[in-house]
Structure 1
């Protein structure tokens, strides 16, 4: 018994003083599969059983129509905390005839025969189920589920009707879920951020507002919440949004926008659906007009919030300037010890061109950041980068000077 106690103490001592580490692995690289010329919209989640699921949009063309391109949703799985990965697999398909969104067809270079699957969102249920939502042509939404850790998914069920409730407040013509992973609350409620647009502005994605949909019956039915962030002169085109449950049970949304102050927007709700607080800008979180990632870190008695996005500072003085520095570069991870009130730790993962990102934490406490980047100069440094990469690192690396 003494030897066992000594071993436990030794292991605890070792874990408390773990060596910092970080390693990176490309999961999707332009040129490796001739069918796709661009990979974008990365998402990552760790299931209740510990499997890591990483997914993205695989697009047929590298430029031009882009968001309205011929797009498939690809998934890779890891059963060893992100060290090795399965081959990519397409995981979204809707049977029957498909019509292009009319608001896409008014734009140049859009092929009416292309099929656009877009904005996948996965949720790891505590009971082991993996819930998935995705969109078709930015105007229809589908739900499916996996009972085998992402190996297979059920046939998709259309849930677009729940979005009709939003039309009393906002007459949307274009919609999208997430993207990124989303969350299950302690109550069991599934919460998914969404954005809605009238489709009359740039790329038929603007103007836009942010809201959530939710399910209280394990995904069988979905309901619309309140508009969380409207589009105003101050809060310009809120759209791609991530969510996290705070320790007091409230849900906090962290929102992308095109606002002039160059900061992320924050709003909270007691139930993740209604009664959203007045949105406010977080001075510590820069906004280059790009998706970000957020996740809870619960290990070794610590309950932290991690956030990732391109942290782009002014070259001359090292400070952000309102309305400037919108280049997507320097994807960084920040840490909050006080439920998102302050972010005293920030660490760069990719100083060069780097774009969309998502975060997950494995059962052993390894942090995973799945993000787009231009790589070693061999790929484009455009809005999506030439590859999607998983960075694996520990808390010691993140918090080291």
Structure 2
């Protein structure tokens, strides 16, 4: 187990021949291998020529193997993006992504992530939302999906009916959120209910992350552009239906950025804990664009001992640039955070060139300060 914080570089766009590396996703396989994924972009922008690549680590993230091509772009304006890996049954690893925000693709690896099956189109599951919401843009994740204790595979998804040039960021807005699920280890996929819509105080909910709580409920934690800058949450008994009413979690700041949620067990106590990671820039008053995005810096890991009701403990992973991230854990209590760590240019969070892995232990988090706002300010100042 890693007792303290270590940071290891994983993807470097400048060495790979790409302009950007963005949108990390991370899982730890049943064999103990870490699989790190990212989008390798040949130009800036979500609609550019984008491949999905991966690297494997068999020594808990200390070293990484050669670059693997998982999904290729179909050319400029036709990206392969939004990696969503899921650990399945009997050593299988499922991989969901989209092509051009219109086709949803499923692949499987049965050799610990070394190779991947031919793409299988599962857009029919996404298309079934159209009877209720006639989306034109659809994307999974990004970040890992989950396998419930009953075997259900679960993927968060967001979709939108583009608002056009009169709407800031109108190619992705306005939006709503739901899930896709499979009850036969990926053979067939179905849609769940729409969970969050753009209505009232809930503005453009989109990229989401999932975790199964100790009592079996599924929690969804979602980015939005709501004026309160807090994460949207809801729970469901099965991850697909009967979601609770949307609510903001006052403890979880949202700078308008993807985040990661992870349920794991503390080996020292045998108790389940919930982890949450994102950039917490609540002390930076800058807003960068028409959707009020805040600075993507000061990456924080938080721990909840009670299924997300409270978040009493937190630590700074990286006080510098920190944008999208994804979490995984090993049984010995080592936590892994794959995150966008290298930025350049004005509004730099759009121009990430490096992705790193932070390794630390649950004890390292638990030894951190109480998660009060004043102490966050002090910790951030010391880290900077």
Between Structure 1 and Structure 2, whose CA radius of gyration is higher?
1
How many angstroms apart in 2 are the aligned matches of 1:297 and 1:199?
37
* 2:317 is equivalent to residue 334 of structure 1: no
Match of 1:59 in 2: 41
* 2:370 is equivalent to residue 381 of structure 1: no
How many angstroms apart in 2 are the aligned matches of 1:379 and 1:131?
37
How many angstroms apart in 2 are the aligned matches of 1:379 and 1:78?
33
* 2:305 is equivalent to residue 351 of structure 1: no
Match of 2:264 in 1: 297
CA contact (8 A) 1:356 1:384 kept: no
Q: By how many angstroms is 1:79 displaced? A: 0.8
Match of 1:101 in 2: none
How many angstroms apart in 1 are the aligned matches of 2:332 and 2:311?
23
For this pair of structures, how many residues does the alignment match?
A: 357
* 2:210 is equivalent to residue 243 of structure 1: yes
What are the within-5 Å matches in structure 2 for residues 253-332 of structure 1?
253-300=220-267, 301-315=270-284, 326-332=294-300
How many angstroms apart in 2 are the aligned matches of 1:291 and 1:341?
21
3-state SS in 2 of match to 1:386: strand
CA contact (8 A) 2:82 2:142 kept: yes
3-state SS in 1 of match to 2:16: coil
Aligned Cα root-mean-square deviation (Å): 2.0
* 2:179 is equivalent to residue 216 of structure 1: no
* 2:59 is equivalent to residue 76 of structure 1: no
Which of 22, 41, 46 aligns to 2:23? It is 41
Pair 116,325 (structure 1): closer, same or farther in 2 beyond 3 Å = closer
Pair 162,211 (structure 1): closer, same or farther in 2 beyond 3 Å = same
Which of 80, 84, 107 aligns to 1:144? It is 107
> 1:46-82, CA deviations, whole angstroms, 9 ceiling, x for partnerless residues?
0111111000000001x3xx10000000000011111
Q: By how many angstroms is 1:114 displaced? A: 4.2
Match of 1:26 in 2: 9
Match of 1:319 in 2: none
Match of 2:197 in 1: 230
How many angstroms apart in 2 are the aligned matches of 1:28 and 1:170?
37
Which of 166, 183, 201 aligns to 2:146? It is 183
How many angstroms apart in 2 are the aligned matches of 1:385 and 1:369?
16
How many angstroms apart in 2 are the aligned matches of 1:118 and 1:325?
22
Please give the TM-score of this superposition, normalised by the length of structure 2: 0.89
Pair 337,91 (structure 1): closer, same or farther in 2 beyond 3 Å = same
How many angstroms apart in 1 are the aligned matches of 2:211 and 2:112?
22
Pair 70,397 (structure 1): closer, same or farther in 2 beyond 3 Å = same
How many angstroms apart in 1 are the aligned matches of 2:202 and 2:358?
32
How many angstroms apart in 1 are the aligned matches of 2:2 and 2:328?
20
How many angstroms apart in 2 are the aligned matches of 1:78 and 1:324?
37
- In structure 1, list runs of 5 or more residues that go unmatched: 1-17, 99-111, 317-322
3-state SS in 1 of match to 2:200: coil
CA contact (8 A) 1:129 1:147 kept: yes
Q: By how many angstroms is 1:21 displaced? A: 1.0
What are the within-5 Å matches in structure 2 for residues 382-401 of structure 1?
382-401=349-368
* 2:131 is equivalent to residue 131 of structure 1: no
What are the within-5 Å matches in structure 2 for residues 1-12 of structure 1?
none
3-state SS in 2 of match to 1:290: coil
How many angstroms apart in 1 are the aligned matches of 2:237 and 2:356?
35
How many angstroms apart in 1 are the aligned matches of 2:118 and 2:173?
31
Match of 2:373 in 1: none
3-state SS in 1 of match to 2:125: helix
> 1:87-117, CA deviations, whole angstroms, 9 ceiling, x for partnerless residues?
11111248xxx6xxxxxxxxxxxxx744310
